[in-house]
């Protein structure tokens, strides 16, 4: 049986489960299944699909926003009911 992206065994779900309150653009790109450079371009255009926070020179993505965008429970990474 094929696994779905929302299952805990999937690398993106593990990355989300282990993440702090925010993650880098490259980490968010891995979760979203897109290239790092594409994620930076989309973030610069405001088209990444989630909020992007500028903290000094760093760009960070709120982990809760990624979970919500992927339809995952914000608390534990499980599929939202």
Residue 32 lies in a domain: yes
Residue 64 lies in a domain: yes
Residue 3 lies in a domain: no
| Count of the separate structural domains present in the chain | 1
Residue 78 lies in a domain: no
Question: How many Å apart are CA 42 and CA 50, to the nearest integer?
Answer: 10
Residue 28 lies in a domain: yes
Query: Which DSSP string corresponds to 12-71?
Result: HHHHHHH--SEEEHHHHHHHHT--HHHHHHHHHHT-SSS--EEETTEEEEEHHHHHHHTT
Residue 5 lies in a domain: no
Is 74 or 23 the better-scoring residue by pLDDT? 23
Residue 22 lies in a domain: yes
Read off the pLDDT of residues 2-61 as tens digits, 9 standing for 90 and up. 444 445 566 777 888 888 999 999 999 999 999 999 999 999 999 999 999 999 999 999
CATH number at residue 54: 1.10.10
**Domain limits at 24?**
11-69
């Amino acid at each position: 049986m094929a696994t779905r992206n929302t299952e805990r065994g999937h690398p993106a779900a593990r990355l989300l489960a282990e993440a702090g309150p925010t993650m880098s653009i490259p980490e968010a790109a891995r979760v979203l299944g897109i290239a790092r450079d594409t994620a930076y371009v989309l973030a610069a255009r405001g088209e990444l699909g989630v909020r992007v926070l500028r903290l000094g020179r760093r760009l960070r993505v709120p982990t809760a926003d990624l979970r919500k965008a992927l339809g995952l429970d914000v608390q534990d990474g499980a599929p939202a009911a």
